[in-house]
Amino acid sequence: MQYLPVCLKLRNTPVLLVGAGSIATRKARLLLRAGSDLTVVAPEITDELKQLLASHGGTWQPQVYRETDLHGRYLVIAATPDAAINAQVSAQAQSLNIPVNVVDAPELCTFIFPSIVDRDPLIVAISSSGTSPVLARQLRHRLDAMLPAAYGRLAEYAGGLRSRVKRAIPEEGPRRLFWERMLGGAVGEQVLAGREARANELLDEMLEDTEGLSCGEVYLVGAGPGDPDLMTFKAARLLQSADVVLYDRLVARPILEMARRDADRIYVGKRRDDHAVPQGEINQLLVDLALEGKRVVRLKGGDPFVFGRGGEEIELLARHRIPFQVVPGITAGNAAACYAGIPLTHRDHAQSVRFVTGHLKDGSTNLDWSTFQSESETLVFYMGLIGLPVICKQLQVHGRRADTPVALVERATLSEQRVITGTLATMADIVTREQPKAPTLIIVGNVVSLHEQLSWFGEH
């Protein structure tokens, strides 16, 4: 991170603005809105800025900038048309350790202004760390359109309740749960709709009955195959509300980083000795954390109910009557096929598709190979890298043609994605040579022949 975003309290704080043209006027408006004690130094001034200063109680010093103007200032902004003066202000402010911003000259700044979505008292600040202000502005427009204008009112309403809620619910965990349910539920909706009287009634009811807040909740969330853009809105929202996140090695780091900064993250994948945390231990941990009142998200790669043991994890929760939800995710089979340009079904090539586990113990398998004969069925093998030679051999032994196309998709949807193709006859040797790294997915069937044709424009 090149810059740390912070919110400065500027009320009645001495701030210096050097320059008084149109850009300086824009900055002055912002600084005055934040209540700063603003002094503008410039030989000439726009009428607009003059009026602004008069109505907000700022001062104009009609003179050229001098170093002494910096004394006692908390913040300095240089916005003159003269590059030499701007550079001088920057150097002198820095030597006095005063944070300084020079308009349009990131190299002279010790802080920068983000783009703002203003729903005062709620403020969203967006910065591209000086790399692309236009990109930041575009993002601001999108957020602006997304956030109801009344969000500020909701923040104000919540602000006015803080001490009452603290008294009613002294414990931190249940209190956060209360806020989440209150803001995201009926009370929040009523405030946004401008019906505060009704909101107050509902609020009273909520505060009278805080029983349900002592037990936590568990969400079994499908995180998708790796690319964070492939998560659902619901997955992202729940992840951001979690107190604790349980994850394993299939969950990509950028996805984990979407969790709240102060959320506990617990790794339950393979340990250094290569042994996974036993499933029973994970199930129990979910129960224990929920009983402590925590909001727990168990992140699963892909979809929780596709080779994810999601069923086992919720069984114990159901037995303990702990509220839970399962959130579907895009399974690796779907994602790998799309990102590799291999349609899983196709009118000419495949009328059905089957997801199969290729996890073969000791080279043997209890898969019923005789049911895999159909030429018009696409097979998708999960966990099949080690068993690949056996899979290719058994499919041929049981009637699939030796020249049936096969694709292996390595690290699907991630920037390192690679697609290796061959046939049932050649694939084992090719994979030995290419040494792909987990996770990988194997797709078998005539649809794989479309990969060449459909993937050239399919760069993601």
Taking the C-alpha atoms of residue 328 and residue 354, their distance in angstroms, rounded to an integer, is 18
Of all residues in the shown chain, the one whose CB is closest to ligand SAH is 302
Q: Is 218 helix (H, G, I), strand (E, B) or coil?
A: strand
Q: Residue 214 Cβ, how far from ligand SAH at the closest point, in Å?
A: 32
Each residue 209-248 as x (binds ligand SAH by CB under 6 A) or -, in order, gives ----------------xx----------------------
CB atoms within 10 A of CB 151: 19
Q: Residue 326 Cβ, how far from ligand SAH at the closest point, in Å?
A: 12
Q: Residue 368 Cβ, how far from ligand SAH at the closest point, in Å?
A: 20
Q: Residue 251 Cβ, how far from ligand SAH at the closest point, in Å?
A: 10
Taking the C-alpha atoms of residue 352 and residue 155, their distance in angstroms, rounded to an integer, is 51
Site for ligand SAH in 243-272 (CB under 6 A): 250
DSSP state of 277: P
Find the catalytic residue in 118, 144, 248, 264.
248
| Strand pairing category for 405-410 and 440-444 | antiparallel
Closer to ligand SAH by CB, 303 or 313: give it.
Answer: 303
Q: Cis peptide leading into 121, omega within 30 of 0?
A: yes
Each residue 15-34 as x (binds ligand SAH by CB under 6 A) or -, in order, gives --------------------
Q: Residue 256 Cβ, how far from ligand SAH at the closest point, in Å?
A: 15
Q: Out of 114, 216, 301, 387, which residue is the one contacting ligand SAH (CB under 6 A)?
A: 301
Using CB under 6 A as the binding rule, whether residue 308 contacts ligand SAH is answered as yes
Site for ligand SAH in 417-446 (CB under 6 A): 439-441
Q: Is 328 helix (H, G, I), strand (E, B) or coil?
A: coil
Residue ranges at the known binding site for S-adenosyl-L-methionine: 225, 301-303, 306, 331-332, 383, 412
What is each CA distance from 284 to 221, 277, 281, 293, in whole angstroms?
17, 11, 5, 15
At 459, list the tokens. 């760069």
Taking the C-alpha atoms of residue 297 and residue 218, their distance in angstroms, rounded to an integer, is 6
Which of the ranges 31-39, 87-95, 167-175, 305-313 carries the binding residues for ligand SAH, by CB under 6 A? 305-313
Closer to ligand SAH by CB, 38 or 409: give it.
Answer: 409
Q: Is 353 helix (H, G, I), strand (E, B) or coil?
A: strand
Taking the C-alpha atoms of residue 212 and residue 22, their distance in angstroms, rounded to an integer, is 56
Closer to ligand SAH by CB, 302 or 422: give it.
Answer: 302
Find the catalytic residue in 9, 166, 270, 437.
270
Measured in residues, the chain has a length of 460
* Whether residue 248 lies in the annotated active site: yes
Residue ranges at the known binding site: 22-23, 43-44, 225, 301-303, 306, 331-332, 383, 412
Using CB under 6 A as the binding rule, whether residue 332 contacts ligand SAH is answered as yes
Taking the C-alpha atoms of residue 274 and residue 28, their distance in angstroms, rounded to an integer, is 60
Each residue 173-212 as x (binds ligand SAH by CB under 6 A) or -, in order, gives ----------------------------------------
What is each CA distance from 446 to 13, 190, 355, 374, 421, in whole angstroms?
71, 56, 16, 11, 12
Give kind and range of the element (H or E) at residue 14: strand 14-18
Q: Out of 268, 382, 394, 431, which residue is the one contacting ligand SAH (CB under 6 A)?
A: 382
Q: Where are the beta strands (DSSP E) in 262-384?
A: 264-267, 295-300, 324-327, 352-357, 377-382
What is each CA distance from 125 to 35, 79, 130, 137, 163, in whole angstroms?
18, 21, 13, 10, 27
Positions in the binding site for ligand SAH (CB under 6 A): 225-226, 250, 300-303, 306-308, 331-332, 336, 382-383, 409, 411-413, 439-441
Residues catalogued as catalytic: 248, 270
